[in-house]
Amino acid sequence: MSNEIPFTNDRRGILFTINRETEPLYQLESGAWASPENRWPEGDIPPEIREKVAALRQSGKPGTFVQFLQGEVGVYVICEGNIKNLPEAADDDLVVDGPWSTGTRARGLAPYDLVICAKGGAVMAEGGARLETRDGDYYVVRCQTWSRFVAHPPVRPRFVDTTKDVLLLLENLHRKNFLSMSPDPEDEGLPANLMPPMAVPEGINCYVLNLSRFKR
**Does 167 map to a domain?**
yes
For 38, the domain range is: 31-84+105-180+204-215
Work out the mean pLDDT of the chain and round it to a whole number.
Answer: 76
Q: Alpha-carbon distance 184 to 127, whole Å?
A: 27
**Does 22 map to a domain?**
no
**Does 14 map to a domain?**
no
Tens digit of pLDDT for each residue in 88-107? 888 888 888 765 655 445 57
**Does 38 map to a domain?**
yes
**Under 8 Å CB-to-CB from 76, ≥6 apart: which residues?**
63, 64, 65, 66, 113, 114, 115, 211, 213, 214
CB-CB neighbours of 153 under 10 Å:
11
Structural domains in the chain (count): 1
**Does 53 map to a domain?**
yes
Mean of pLDDT values over 113-129? 87
**Does 45 map to a domain?**
yes
**Does 68 map to a domain?**
yes
pLDDT at 202: 34
Tens digit of pLDDT for each residue in 40-89? 999 999 999 999 999 999 999 999 999 887 666 788 999 999 988 778 88
**Does 93 map to a domain?**
no
Mean of pLDDT values over 139-162? 76
Backbone angles phi, psi at 173, to 5 degrees: -75, -40
pLDDT at 189: 45
- Among 31-35, 88-92, 125-129, 201-205, the minimum mean pLDDT is found in 201-205
The reply to whether the predicted model has a pTM over 0.85 is no
Q: In Å, what is the CA distance from 115 to each residue of 2, 106, 149, 152, 175?
A: 22, 16, 17, 24, 24
